[in-house]
Structure 1
């Protein structure tokens, strides 16, 4: 059950409570369903009871107690808990939850940035053996006297780092379907982004154009001069990030929160686990390698129950919410950090995907392969929104 389906389920429970005379309220048009916050439990939580308490003339806990059994009767819902002042925390049946989530991600993969680019195979993801120096070599630098073109992500008049690709063209809202399990929150809205003449502000605004488009809105970027009001003023980079190359430069500017000063260091180019950008791109490449190796084994991906990948499935389920928050708070760093969580979940899970030794391929392997492919899809789409390439070989 996806967040959108669960939102409809919550509204259906409210409607049934109203029709049964247990609540006297107008049924809302939307119910917010998101991963639980601190102190919450389960797969998703909703504040619908708090939302309806005042118009119903009831305490939030009373409303939650009315809705709880109605939600528990729903196919795919394993249990419902009430926490705090009246939050409904929903536990989904694992097989239903994982299979439905993976199925929708793969069905929507055409709109999530698949097949963005290919890079030179400096790291063999099939074998896990490095084929290149993990530091900065002569072929990984570009000239210092250049600026990054925020439309292409490439520094003008220079050669990009090894394996770098141009940034995907900025889409319009009509070209950018909403992510899986998600109702767009900015449909039809035109959002002005007034920014100073600063490279970091330009990269953040360029990324927000794409993120806001996933919510059905349209962002217009306007440069303003010193002293004029601005909507975005992230802390500037301490130096020109162009020498890092397009992908690492954009990550260095986007991964820190707007109030943090970005680090423009060679660490962003290292092929090591300590580098979050490497982990994200490597996880995507590993997902593609698993698919290639599965093809050699004649193993197809079939969405199903995966019981031992909770961190990964939770991160995939929370991806639409991360996009919503990134758009609402004008904070692409939230998307960047969420991609790290997806990558870490996949890298911890990847070793169980394919049969080992004399092990025979099973339904469990097919379900794990589908989950890994879904994770690769999300990583590719997220990197595309950040304007960073997602190579199949790294």
Structure 2
């Protein structure tokens, strides 16, 4: 019995109890799905639900009364061995061995579909992440968002959402001018401007431009040429780095297009007409405090130029006009002010502020030999995506960045990530998957096949533990999507890997020596393959490979 099947059975039992007059619960309070969870202590059962506590207030009765009515019905469900009521009304459910073991076969038969559901079907999500300025390689902050953002997109899609990965191409503003001046200075053999960019990558791009156009320095305005070609080359390099990191975007949106097609001007007129834009001190201000911001924001500066927020608001409006229900922005640690700012801007335009979500990612620090790594070989100032991948590889880089909550600072120990040992979390999970495949190959060589499945044969304590953590996997995916936290998937894969290694040490799939092959061996092969399937599914959501051999 899978957790979903048990949840559906409880939901049906609840509705039947209401229809039979055993419980009086308002129709609007009845859940469409009853949540089941693993108890913290396995002694309390296989699954638990707090539905009785949730319904106590709308039903107007003590939770234990609801729990008692449900227990009678739940104990009649095939596969349920016993139901206990704990505390104020928690229902602890114990499955019989056969019902618990059926999960292994269900996983193998579901394959890549295990854990997938349609809870977010019909929701169109615009997920914007990385969006590094095209003035240099992607630094570690952007690399973290690449790993987390792409994993989050995959998790949303596994819940049925329609996701568009979007990269906001910042090609409007002073930083591009500084970039162009830096390239020109390098081509002329001069030091970088005081406010410019340095590093080997500037020299590489400048050299590429001059090699393609040897007479470029003889032109009337070479800076404009360096600007256009430099941005194109830099952005091509960024896209290549992301692709090699396993991240590809559906849309590359150019900031400059908002100004070229008049979208910003149209927006400003709309805001003036709504009364949410007012003049003060020669500038135009958005009355964003009326919509929850901590202060009003300048939209048109006193010199007549648009402030950065003007483009932000026009960009959100553009996303909504493209039909997205939810716009998620994944921004760096220095963008905390954007949370209230963008929500207020949405509300000021008459839209729903809940259409905007801003996720803030914190800093990443690299450590090697106990010493912080701060300088890049290529960028010269910060460690880049290429630097990290060169040392540990794409799999370890993606996994290590995705396995931490994005709102916490993290230290990545390069010495640990290059070890082929259980101390390295990505190796630990990948090795567990490779071990399931090795067990499958050994089983095939010994003549053990999945021709029989006897769920009641899975009685060892480690089998019960393994089935328990496998059963939690769909719920973990749902939580990862709901809380926007891919690290939940990574951490649960490590739990599964640990349970599998303990099972491997205690239960054999292939018989020893001349022992005969039994149905227990065949059934354990189903369980082994179920573990491999779940690990492969979870790693795929993190954009990490599931190797057959290690």
TM-score normalised per structure 2 = 0.56
- Residue 380 of structure 1 deviates from its aligned partner by 0.7
In 1, are the aligned partners of 2:147 and 2:542 still within 8 Å (CA)? no
Q: Name the structure 2 match of 1:326.
A: 480
- Which residue in the other structure is 1:270 paired with? 419
Offset at 1:36?
A: 2.6
For 1:353-364, what aligned pairs fall within 5 Å after superposition? 353-364=509-520
- Matched ranges for 1:184-223 at <5 A: 184-195=118-129, 197=132, 198-222=142-166, 223=168
* Cα gap change, 1:38 to 1:325, in 2 (>3 Å): farther
1:65 and 1:218 map into 2 onto residues whose CA distance is 42
2:363 to 236, 248, 252: 236
- Report the more deviating stretch, 231-240 or 215-224: 215-224
2:403 corresponds to which residue? 255
Contact residue 195 and residue 233 of structure 1 kept, 8 A: no
Give the aligned partner of residue 92 of structure 2.
89
CA distance in 2: counterparts of 1:85 and 1:194, whole angstroms: 45
Q: What's 2:44 paired with? A: 41
- Matches of 2:411 and 2:481, distance apart in 1: 20
* Runs of at least 5 residues in structure 2 that lack an aligned partner in the other structure: 133-141, 169-330, 340-356, 366-382
Matched, 1:307 2:456: no
Q: CA deviation at 1:256?
A: 2.0
Displacement after TM superposition at 1:242 (Å): 2.0
1:61 aligned residue? 64
Question: 1:37: how far off?
Answer: 4.5
Match of 2:537 in 1: 381
Distance of 2:488 and 2:513 partners within structure 1 = 40
**Match in the other structure for 1:5:** 5
Deviation at 1:2, TM superposition (A): 0.9
- 1:283 is matched with which residue: 410, 432, 437? 432
What are the Cα deviations for residues 83-142 of structure 1, in whole angstroms up to 9, with x where unaligned? 2332211111112211x2111111111xx2xxxxxxxxxxxxxxxxxxxxxxxxxxxxxx
Aligned partners of 1:192, 1:34: CA distance in 2, in Å?
A: 31
Shift of 1:248: 0.8
Q: Residue 34 of structure 1 aligns to a residue in which SS?
A: coil
Distance 1:190 1:39, change over 3 A: farther
Aligned length: 325
| Correspondence for 2:31 among 23, 28, 31 | 28
Please report the RMSD computed on the Cα atoms of aligned residues, expressed in angstroms: 2.1
Alpha-carbon distance change, 233 to 274 in structure 1, aligned in 2, over 3 angstroms: same
Structure showing greater relative contact order (alpha-carbon pairs closer than 8 Å, 6 or more residues apart): 1
Contact 2:117 2:160 in 1 (8 A): no
SS of equivalent to 2:360: coil
1:140-189: CA deviations, max 9, x gaps?
xxxxxxxxxxxxxxxxxxxxxxxxxxxxxxxxxxxxx5x34x75432222
Q: CA deviation at 1:199?
A: 1.5
In the aligned structure 2, how far is the partner of 1:39 from the partner of 1:93? 14
With over 3 angstroms needed to count, the CA separation of the structure-2 counterparts of 1:323 and 1:235, relative to structure 1, is same
Instruction: Give the match's secondary structure for 1:30.
Output: coil
Contact 1:242 1:249 in 2 (8 A): yes
SS in 1 for 2:56: helix
- Given that 1:106 and 1:374 are in contact with CA atoms closer than 8 Å, whether structure 2 keeps it comes out as yes
Distance of 1:18 and 1:265 partners within structure 2: 58
Displacement, 1:341? Answer: 0.9
Post-superposition shift, 1:325? 1.2
1:30–1:277 distance in 2 versus 1, CA, 3 Å? same
Greater helix fraction, Structure 1 or Structure 2: 2
Give secondary structure in 2 for the equivalent of 1:232. Answer: strand
Greater Cα shift, 223-232 or 190-199:
223-232
Which segments of 5 or more consecutive residues in structure 1 lack a partner in the other structure? 113-176
- Deviations along 1:240-278, one digit per CA (max 9) or x if unpaired, are 422211101111211122214141413112111222211
